[in-house]
Amino acid sequence: MLNEFKKKEQIDEIKQQRVLRKYIKGNDFPTLVITVCMHGNEPAALAAMKLLFSSDRILEGDLRGNIYVLIGNVEALNRSQRFVHKDFNRVWSRENLDLVRHAPKEEWPEIHELHELKSMDHLITSIVAKHGVLPLVFLDLHTTSADSAPFIPFNDAIMNRKLAENFPIPLILGIEEFLDGPLMSYVNDLGFPALGFEAGRHDDPFSADRHAAFVELFLYHLGMIYLTENQIHELKNTLILGFKFSAGFYEIIYRHGVFPFSGFKMAPGFRNFQEVERNQILASDQSGEISAVQSGLIFMPLYQTEGDDGFFIIRPVSGFWLWISTQLRRLNLLRWIAYLPGVRVDTLNPRIFWANPKITRFFPREIFHLLGFRVKRTSSDRLMLVFRE
Ligand SMILES: [Zn+2]
C-alpha cells in the first residue's frame, strides 16, 4: 500500500514537473510541442529553453501560436543519468503504450520509464485532442556524446522534409528504421510532423546557443514570431559557426549495434560526419576490431558507456532521388501495396502492412523508401512496412 502510494505520488510529481513552459494563444493558431531531456544526461536543451522563453526575444503577447515545452525523462534528469532502467526514447512502441494505458500498474515490469511513458502519453494525447486540427508540430531536442556539427534527424515523410529544408545543416533521413520506439516515430504515426535536433556535444558550452537559435528560427518558419533579415542571418550563423560540413539530405546506410557487456569501445578521435573508408578500423569489442563495412561519413559514434548504437554510416542523398520520391508519393500507392504477394494490411492501422522478408528479394528496401514506407524487420519471418506520409 505504501509502495502504491509512493508510486502514485511519483506520477503526480512527474506531471507537475513535466511542463516546463506553456503558452496558449487559442485554437485558431498552430501549435509547437518541444521536448527536452528525453535523455536525462542532456541538460543543454533545458537550459536553452529556459533562457530563450524568459528572454525579450520571445514576447508572449507577440506570439502567433501555442507552445508547450515538455521535459521527457524527469527522473533521469533529476539523477543526471541518460535513463533510469530503459532509454526513454526507445519505449514508444504499441506494446508499451497498450500496457501503460490498459494494464494495472502491478502487472508492469519494474521499469521506471513506463511511469514516465504513462504520464507523457497522457499529456501528448490531451495536446493532440486540443490542438490537432490545425498544424501541430513536434521538436525533440538532443545532444551527442561525440563532437558534432548540429543536425536534424527525422522520419522521411514529405511533411518533415519541408520543415527541415529551411535549415543550412545536415538533414538525416530514416534514422528511425534503425531504432526501436523513438518518440518521433510515434508522433509521425499519429500523422503530425516531428523533427529531432542534435545541437552538438553534451558539454559543449555552445550546444545550448544552437538549441536556442534552432528553436527561434523554427518559430519564425512556423509564422509564430517575426524576425528581421539580420536576425535570421545571425541565428543561422550561430548554428553553423565553427563547423565544416555539407548541408542537405543524408541517408543512413549502416548501423553498428552494441550488445550489453560486449566491451564496445570507439577508436579515439572520430568526429560526427568525418569521412571513413571501407575496412577502416572504427572501434573494438571483445571479439576484436570493428571496421567500416562501407565507405561514407561516420555518424553518431558512441563515446559514452550507455546506449546501444555504436555508430552509423551515412551518405548524401541525390536531389533526383528526393524529387522522384516526392512525385511517387503523390500518386498515393498506399492501397496497392496490399496486392503484392505475401503482404497484408494491419488489422488496426491501415498505414501499417506486414510482409514476408523474402519480398525484399524482388522489391528492395530502396523501392519501399521511394514510395514512402519505413521498413522494419520485427522478427525472422515478419517485415513491418509503415507508410510515413
Ligand atoms: Zn539524446
Distance 178 CA to ligand 1 centre (A): 15
> Domain locations in the chain?
2-240, 248-316, 329-387
Strand order in the sheet with 352-355: 343-345, 352-355, 382-387, 373-379
Confidence of residue 331 (pLDDT cuts 50, 70, 90): confident
Higher per-residue confidence, 217 vs 16: 217
Are 39 and 87 in contact, with CB atoms under 8 Å apart? yes
Average pLDDT over residues 193-198: 96
Mean pLDDT of the chain: 89
Measured distance CA(231)–CA(219) in Å, rounded: 13
Kindly report the pTM of this predicted structure.
Answer: 0.86
CATH fourth-level superfamily of 2-240: Zn peptidases (3.40.630.10)
How many Å lie between the centroid of ligand 1 and the Cα of residue 196?
Answer: 9
Q: Give the per-residue pLDDT at 72.
A: 97
Report d(CA 11, CA 116) in Å as an integer: 8
Helix %, strand %, coil % of the chain (to 5): 35, 25, 40
Which is higher by pLDDT, 38 or 341?
A: 38
The string of pLDDT tens digits covering residues 232-262 is: 999 999 999 988 888 899 999 899 999 888 8
329-387 placed in CATH 3.90.1070 = yes
Tens-digit pLDDT profile for residues 31-72: 999 999 999 999 999 999 999 998 877 888 789 999 999 999
pLDDT recorded at residue 196: 97
Asked if the model's pLDDT at residue 312 lies above 60, the reply is yes
If you measure from the C-alpha of residue 307 to the centroid of ligand 1, how many angstroms do you get, rounded to a whole number? 10
SS3 state at 387: strand
Kindly give the distance from the C-alpha atom of residue 42 to the centroid of ligand 1, in angstroms, as a whole number: 6
Is the pLDDT score of 3 beyond 90?
Answer: no
Centre of ligand 1 to C-alpha 213, Å, is 18
Give the confidence band of 5 by pLDDT, cuts at 50, 70, 90: very low
Distance 37 CA to ligand 1 centre (A): 7
CA 289 to centroid of ligand 1, rounded, Å: 27
pLDDT digits (tens, 9 = 90+) for 103-137: 999 999 999 999 999 999 999 999 999 999 889 99
Find the radius of gyration of the CA atoms of the chain: 21
Please tell me if the domain spanning 2-240 has the same topology as the one spanning 248-316: no
Supply the CATH classification number for the domain 248-316.
Answer: 2.40.50
Separation between Cα atoms, residue 66 and residue 217, nearest integer Å = 16
CA of 28 to the centre of ligand 1 (A): 33
Determine the distance separating the centroid of ligand 1 and the alpha carbon of 132, expressed in angstroms.
26
Comparing 76 with 179, the larger pLDDT belongs to 76
